[in-house]
Amino acid sequence: MLLSPKHQFLFIHIAKTGGTSVRAALARRRWADPWYWPMFACSRLSHLSGHRIATKLPRHAKAIAAKELLPREVFEALFKFAFVRNPWDLQVSSFHHIRRERPRYLGGHEAFPAFLRWKLDPERPPQYHLDTSIELQSDYLIDLHGKLIVDFIGRYERLEQDFSEACARIGIAPPRLPHRRQANDRRADYRAYYDDQTAELVARHFAPDIERLGYRFDPAP
């Protein structure tokens, strides 16, 4: 989550949706914000206290957290935006991220289909390092009653275009987005990773996202 009181925006960072690039592009704007240094000090205090004093909005916090923690008039005045991603593609990205940086968390499942079945197994005890990409993306965008509380939802599939739109809504010139990191051994088309059964696993688990965000598993061209 990225908050700028000066420019009055709140970026809700959903993992594996291009958010790291968005944060990096907006970093200079944060440094020029007179509120940045007091917020940085609060962040450090939160870290040093073991995050017991609630002075920091976590990197991947949901919009409802900001709504509950910020004064109502402050939250309502912010331009709140996020990026989302096709759930089938996101799971492929998550698999390669874990295999590249945290292979011990693969649970012994080196192939994507086996890993996905294990990961989405309802009987498996929840594990935070996996469950960030198991959570519904739409949960990051709604309040406790299911009402959408963000002003703009961009899409990873058109990241640059939608980032420019978000910047226009904020009232700033769009800074350059840094290169998005991608695993060298990943096949470009996410559909190549799935068969009918594994595609259906994702369809069932992420059905609310697929319905609310309008994604689908398109047939290969």
Burial of 67 from C-beta contacts in 10 A (0-12 / 13-18 / 19+): middle
Q: Sign of the C-alpha dihedral, residues 89, 91, 94, 99?
A: negative
- Element housing 170 (H / E): helix 159-170
- Element housing 217 (H / E): none
Extents of the domains making up the chain: 2-213
How many degrees, rounded to 5, is the angle at CA 186 between CA 182 and CA 190? 100
Q: Which residue numbers in the chain have pLDDT < 70?
A: 30-56, 127-131, 180-185, 219-221
Alpha carbon 196 to its chain centroid, in Å, reads: 26
**pLDDT per residue over 91-146, tens digit each?**
999 999 888 888 888 888 889 999 999 989 888 877 666 667 889 999 999 999 99
Q: Tokens for 146?
A: 């299911």
What fold is seen in the domain 2-213? Rossmann fold (3.40.50)
| pTM exceeds 0.95, yes or no | no
Identify the three-state secondary structure at position 68: helix
